[in-house]
Amino acid sequence: MSDSVFPPAAGTSADAAAHPPVPAVSGRVTRAAVIGSVIEYYDFVLFGLAAALVFDDEFFPSDSPLAGSLGAFAAFAVGFLVRPLGGMVFGHIGDRAGRRPVLLATVLLMGLSTAAIGLLPTYDQVGVLAPVLLVVLRIVQGFGAGAEYVGALVLVAESSEPRRRGFWASLPAAGVSLGLLLGTLVFTAVSALPDAGSWAWRAPFLLGLVGVAAGLYLRARVPESVLFERERLRGVARMPSAEVVRRRPRALLTAAAIAAPFGAASYVINVFVLSYVTHSAGLSTTAALIANIAGNVVSIVLTPLFGLLSDRIGRRPVFLGCAVFLAAFAFPMFWLLDTGDPVLVAVVCALGYGVGIGGMWAVQGALYTELFPTRYRYSGIIVAREWSAALGSGPAPFVATALAAWAGGATWPISVLLVGCMAVVIAAVARAPETRDADLTDVVFDGSRAVAVI
């Protein structure tokens, strides 16, 4: 069975129009896709870093440092809660009007809201209005981000040759780490300025406007996905989200079961650890940010290599290997963090984020795009990924902070949380199909395997 019927014979002009060849990924497509991932995660890491290190004093002042941190992390989580809504709206447009217009809209929405955060008055200046405005802009930021990364990986994957799809689809994930790296570098630089006062944290947010300009320029010149153009000729889905829920429930559950715990583990390592080592392990803010940089550098280097490896041995072995590694590292990670040694903390970030999370990021793009047909690929990935991210990724730093407080400062509950997250990932990936050889023109997922129907 198939979601659509291909003409039985080739050779006619109508058939050629309906079945244009899928070109190799061009540099223009790759740059346009990756720039969005860079901007999205530059924006999001700035908010995460500021939530961990600045926003508790600027927007959530309290006599209790714990209460201030919880307020800042709650604002961080709000962005994830609205991501599914933005994803549903833009995913619907992406499956009906095209990938390109959505990618233009999301980069504009995210960049402008991020720059506006840099202009906000503080609690001391306007009182409770300050955190309210911060949360509103975080909501706008999350609404745009709900479809950004998915759109980037769909565009690249649909434009790539099958035998190297894992590599090409890993590049938006490398863009994620590059965005995290750039955001961390800029934030570290301004935090180290002498006599910076309360203005320093604003500069990185305002610099996001440069990324917006670059993103709009690159994406205005990129062609639409050939596979989507073919689907448009055959007739797009009227309600792609509803159709994917009805026709691909097992694929949705598989992708969601991978995304939620993976995202939670990612933000525990990339956001909560920063707060923990500065407030509990006695590490300076600069040293903590440098450790974060180390993790992102390792991820940028290894992510494309993990993508290439997934093209050789399959998506599942790479994903499972990285998940098992991270589960085994969950307890040693905090033992090393508790030393307060800057070098050991950097090693933790390099291994935990650069290898464990980076390897799973690398494979996730190809695996997700190969689980869903072109007709509702954008919406399918968003339904699976963004709703689970709202439940797992956003609240993760908040939950980790609360667990540490509940345990009187002990970190074993957080290690247990990471092991549990990876156990769910391992179980989901073990039951997922091996999609390496799937044909994106018409994927059928029956719960145990993915096959191409011609």
pLDDT of residue 283: 85
Q: What residues contact 336, with CB distance under 8 A and at least 6 apart?
A: 344, 345, 347, 348
Asked whether residue 281 is assigned to any structural domain, the reply reads yes
Asked whether residue 162 is assigned to any structural domain, the reply reads yes
CA 392 to each of CA 307, 389, 437: distance values in angstroms, whole numbers, following the listed order: 24, 5, 30
Range of the domain at 304: 24-225+237-452
Detail the DSSP E strand segments found in 48-181.
Answer: none
Rounded to a whole number of angstroms, the distance between the first and last alpha carbons of the chain is 10
What amino acid is encoded at 301 in this protein? V
For residues 369 and 154, is the Cβ–Cβ distance under 8 A?
Answer: yes
How does DSSP assign 250-298, residue by residue? HHHHHHHHHHHHHHHHHHIIIIIHHHHHHHTS---HHHHHHHHHHHHHH
Asked whether residue 33 is assigned to any structural domain, the reply reads yes
Asked whether residue 1 is assigned to any structural domain, the reply reads no
The domain tally of the chain equals 1
Which domain CATH number covers 136?
Answer: 1.20.1250.20
CA 133 to each of CA 270, 430, 435: distance values in angstroms, whole numbers, following the listed order: 25, 44, 44
User: What is the rounded CA–CA span in Å between residue 111 and residue 101?
Assistant: 16
User: What is the rounded CA–CA span in Å between residue 345 and residue 147?
Assistant: 33
pLDDT 10s digit of each residue in the chain, 454 long? Answer: 334 332 333 343 444 444 445 445 557 788 888 888 898 888 877 887 787 777 777 787 765 566 666 667 777 777 778 888 898 999 999 999 888 899 899 988 888 999 999 898 888 888 888 888 888 888 888 888 888 888 888 988 888 888 889 999 999 989 988 988 898 888 878 877 765 556 788 888 998 888 888 888 888 888 888 888 888 888 888 899 899 999 889 999 999 999 989 989 988 987 788 888 888 888 887 888 888 889 989 999 999 999 999 999 999 999 999 999 999 999 999 999 999 899 999 999 999 999 999 999 999 989 999 999 888 899 999 988 888 777 777 688 888 988 988 998 889 999 999 999 999 999 999 998 898 888 776 554 544 454 443 3
* Maximum Cα interatomic distance, the chain, rounded to a whole number of Å: 75
Asked whether residue 2 is assigned to any structural domain, the reply reads no
Asked whether residue 6 is assigned to any structural domain, the reply reads no
- Tokens 């030393």 belong to 339
Asked whether residue 118 is assigned to any structural domain, the reply reads yes
Please state, as a whole number, how many other Cβ atoms lie within 10 Å of the Cβ of residue 57: 16
Asked whether residue 8 is assigned to any structural domain, the reply reads no
For residues 204 and 120, is the Cβ–Cβ distance under 8 A?
Answer: no
pLDDT of residue 235: 83
Backbone angles phi, psi at 452, to 5 degrees: -95, 135
pTM tops 0.75, yes or no: yes
Tell me the Ramachandran region of residue 445: left when phi exceeds 0, alpha when psi lies from -120 to 50, beta otherwise.
beta
Closest by Cα among 242, 183, 160 to 438: 160
What amino acid is encoded at 46 in this protein? L
What amino acid is encoded at 266 in this protein? S
Please state, as a whole number, how many other Cβ atoms lie within 10 Å of the Cβ of residue 26: 12
User: What is the rounded CA–CA span in Å between residue 291 and residue 132?
Assistant: 32
Backbone angles phi, psi at 445, to 5 degrees: -115, 120
Q: For residue 121, give both structure tokens.
A: 């008055």
